[in-house]
Amino acid sequence: MTLSAAECQALEALAAQWLDLGAREDEVVRALTAGLPPEVHSAGALARRRLIDKMPPEREPEPEPEAGSAPGPRFRPPLRILECTTCRTPGRPEALPGGVCRDCRGLPSPYADCRRDPDEIRRRSDGIRRAMRAVMQATALPS
């Protein structure tokens, strides 16, 4: 959505009202840009309408922290997910030192000792399937 300098100047007072009411810049941007149609014919009019219609209520002042208490976080930090630069496997930043995952660094899996014998897995799976069939047959409605 492109606005001319004149449109920006005309909308400045409305945007200032938002900020005076305690809105953050990202909230103003989100109100203006969320759910835009593929083509905007009158960007200035659309922005003016959104700034008026979505005007936030006046915010309550933040309570003062009690003396001696540690102030709590005001917001939750964003969850960051990165990708391995070699194989593009997603992961947390702490799991990708230098941007490379454990497998690409040649390190063993932390779950290597948890591996089961494939035959044991098949036996357990077959036992679960048999038990499920027995339950289904026992609870089946008569036809």
Residue extents of the structural domains in the chain:
5-53, 79-137
According to DSSP, residue 90 is labeled: E
33-52: b (≥16 Cβ within 10 Å) or e? eeeeeeeeeebbebbeebbe
pLDDT of residue 63: 67
Among residues of the chain, what percentage have pLDDT more than 90?
44
What pLDDT band is residue 142 in, cutting at 50, 70 and 90? confident
- Mind listing the pLDDT tens digit for each residue in 22-60? 888 999 999 999 988 888 899 999 999 999 999 988 777
- 91 beta partners: 82
The alpha carbon of 9 is separated from its chain's Cα centroid by a whole number of angstroms, namely 33
* Residue 73 pLDDT greater than 60, yes or no: no
Separation of first and last alpha carbons in the chain: 63
